[in-house]
């Protein structure tokens, strides 16, 4: 093969390779766009749900919680869902004492709002077409809104960041023909860690509560 022919072939290959690479990049972008559109439209086993809950406190430190949250995630298998959630909880202390004005600008209160941010793991026991049981585990952090402390028992809870663990068990009832949409009723336990001030001492404590949840999944 003559030298000029080899040079011509190399030039043709160099002109084709960038074109093929550009086509591959375009295909990747199109595929990613289609994947995002499919997920947003409810495909790719995308799942989401909104949940309302109430838990009543028990133990040495007691508070009641009324909350609403939403979780968005992916159904990796028929039996396993994982997602991320965000919510708002109204917390009510069970103490009758008033601590307002004791600590300067850090006034205390007997009610407030918290924002939980968490990862959610849900395990389905049984099929999706009929009623089945589920186990749900939420783990993350909850943040007390505002700078005022929360009065509780003979002291108060300080700090704004709390570790949260909230396992639940319950019944899942499909409300759609394909089994994707369902109503869920459950019993739940919630644990929150906190710093507790009592008679000039600061100790770590936990807020424990039991209650129920109801949610709609799509």
Q: What is the pLDDT of residues 181-206, one digit of tens each?
A: 899 999 999 999 988 777 667 778 88
Query: What is the rounded average pLDDT of the residues 131-150?
Result: 90
pLDDT band for 209, please (50, 70, 90 cuts). Answer: very high
Query: What is the rounded average pLDDT of the residues 6-35?
Result: 51
Same domain, residue pair 109 and 142: yes
Query: What is the rounded average pLDDT of the residues 5-19?
Result: 51
Instruction: Name 170's bridge partners.
Output: 134, 186
Q: What is the pLDDT of residues 79-94, one digit of tens each?
A: 999 999 999 999 988 7
Domain count, the chain: 2
Same domain, residue pair 25 and 61: no
Q: Judge whether residue 217 has pLDDT over 60.
A: yes
Same domain, residue pair 40 and 52: no
pLDDT band for 8, please (50, 70, 90 cuts). Answer: low
Angle at 207 between CA 206 and CA 209, to 5 degrees: 135
Domain housing 87 = 45-217
Q: Judge whether residue 101 has pLDDT over 90.
A: no
Same domain, residue pair 1 and 91: no
pLDDT of residue 138: 98
* 3-state SS, residue 105: coil
Same domain, residue pair 7 and 109: no
Q: Judge whether residue 46 has pLDDT over 50.
A: yes
Distances (CA, A) of 189 to 28, 167, 168: 45, 6, 6
pLDDT of residue 161: 82
Same domain, residue pair 208 and 124: yes
Query: What is the rounded average pLDDT of the residues 137-154?
Result: 86
pLDDT of residue 35: 47
Same domain, residue pair 117 and 189: yes
Q: Judge whether residue 104 has pLDDT over 50.
A: no
pLDDT of residue 123: 95
pLDDT of residue 100: 47
> Among 28, 44, 60, which residue terminates a domain?
44
CATH code, domain with 209: 2.40.160.20
pLDDT band for 119, please (50, 70, 90 cuts). Answer: very high
- Residue with the two structure tokens 């002291």: 155
pLDDT band for 137, please (50, 70, 90 cuts). Answer: very high
Same domain, residue pair 33 and 88: no
Same domain, residue pair 144 and 161: yes
Same domain, residue pair 157 and 61: yes
Cβ neighbours of residue 135 closer than 8 Å, sequence gap 6 or more: 122, 123, 125, 167, 168, 169
Same domain, residue pair 94 and 183: yes
Same domain, residue pair 62 and 139: yes
Q: Quick one: what percent of the chain has pLDDT higher than 70?
A: 71
pLDDT band for 72, please (50, 70, 90 cuts). Answer: very high
Token code pair at residue 83: 């997602």
């Amino acid at each position: 093969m003559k030298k000029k022919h080899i040079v011509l072939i190399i030039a043709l290959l160099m002109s084709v390779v960038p074109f093929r690479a550009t086509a591959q990049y375009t295909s990747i972008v199109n595929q990613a766009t289609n994947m995002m559109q499919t997920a947003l439209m409810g495909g790719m086993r995308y799942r989401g749900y909104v949940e309302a809950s109430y838990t009543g406190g028990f133990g040495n430190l007691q508070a009641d919680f009324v909350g609403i949250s939403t979780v968005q995630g992916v159904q990796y298998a028929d039996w396993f869902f994982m997602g991320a959630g965000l919510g708002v909880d109204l917390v009510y202390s069970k103490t009758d004492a008033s601590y307002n004005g004791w600590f300067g600008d850090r006034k205390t209160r007997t009610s407030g709002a918290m924002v939980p941010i968490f990862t959610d793991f849900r395990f389905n026991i049984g099929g999706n077409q009929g009623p089945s049981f589920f186990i749900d585990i939420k783990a993350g952090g909850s943040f007390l809104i505002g700078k005022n402390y929360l009065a509780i028992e003979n002291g108060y809870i300080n700090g704004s960041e709390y570790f949260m663990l909230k396992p639940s068990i319950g019944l899942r009832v499909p409300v759609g023909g394909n089994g994707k949409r369902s109503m869920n009723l459950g019993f739940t336990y919630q644990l929150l860690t906190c710093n507790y001030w009592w008679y000039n001492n600061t100790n770590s404590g936990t807020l424990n509560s039991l209650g129920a949840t109801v949610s709609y999944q799509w």
